[in-house]
Amino acid sequence: MKRTTDNRPAWPDLPEDVRSAVLDVTGRLKDTPGALLPVLHGVQDALGYVPDTAVPLIARELNLSRADVHGVISFYHFFRQTPPGRRVIHLCRAESCQAMGAVTLEKHIKQRLGIDFHQTTADGAYSLEPVYCLGNCACSPALMVDGELKGRMTPQQFDAWLNAEET
């Protein structure tokens, strides 16, 4: 059954960009079976994360409970509930990378950025996330910056990349 269009905005405090991002995605995907993951991907693609404020609207549009939506967001490592830094670094922690010095690389990157996993630098430039395999195990250790994969990373190469970013 289709909901009749209600022009009165629910949740008047909801930021307009969040509202339009959610409605745009749900408008396209709400009728696809098992729509919640594609919807959350769409919202995160648009906003960089899935804000808590978006949850009630997503739930209403998909006819789910807020608990259902929150439960799914919090289950999957990929969905963020806080805004990301301008660059998101996914560093592989898995065995193949460990065999090629990923532990040393991890220490170096954390020290260099001054943050731990799941944190963002104070200037909002970088977020650091662990990842368990990027499928680049033939070129370990690996990391991915916003979808760009880098292989056979060394602390020196990381520094060179970071310096290039900051100039």
Partner 1 sequence: MSVTVYVPRDAGALSLGAEAVAAAIAGEATRRGLDIRLVRNGSRGLYWLEPLVEVDTAEGRVAYGPVTPGDVPGLFEADFLHGGRHALAHGPTEAVDWLKRQQRLTFARVGIVDPRSLDDYRAHGGYRGLAKALAMSGADIVKAVTDSGLRGRGGAAFPAGIKWKTVLDTPAGQKYVVCNADEGDSGTYSDRMVMEGDPFVLIEGMTIAGIAVGATHGYIYLRAEYPHAHQALLAAIAAAEAAGYLGENVCGSGKAFHLEVRLAAGAYICGEETSLLESLEGKRGQVRFKPPLPAIQGLFGKPTVINNVITLASVPVILDQGAGYYRDYGMGRSRGTLPMQLAGNLKRTGLVECAFGLTLRELVEDYGGGTASGRPIRAVQVGGPLGAYVPASRLDTPMDYEAFAEIGAMLGHGGIVVFDDSVDMARQARYAMEFCAIESCGKCTPCRIGSTRGVEVIDRIVAGDAAERARNEALLRDLCQTMLAGSLCALGGMAPFPVLSALDHFPEDFAGRADKAAA
Q: Which residues bind partner 1 (CB under 8 A)?
A: 33-38, 40-41, 68, 71-72, 75-79, 90, 94-100, 131-140, 142, 144, 147, 149-152
In the bound complex, what is the minimum distance in angstroms from residue 131's beta carbon to partner 1?
Answer: 6
Q: Is the peptide bond before 130 cis (omega within 30 degrees of 0)?
A: no
> Tokens 């970071």 label which residue?
162
Assign residue 5 a region (left: φ > 0; alpha: ψ between -120 and 50; beta: otherwise).
Answer: beta
User: Chain-centre distance of CA 11, in angstroms?
Assistant: 25
Based on CB atoms, which residue is closest to partner 1, 53 or 98? 98
Cβ atoms < 10 Å from Cβ of 140: 22
Based on CB atoms, which residue is closest to partner 1, 15 or 147? 147
Based on CB atoms, which residue is closest to partner 1, 120 or 136? 136
In the bound complex, what is the minimum distance in angstroms from residue 90's beta carbon to partner 1?
Answer: 8
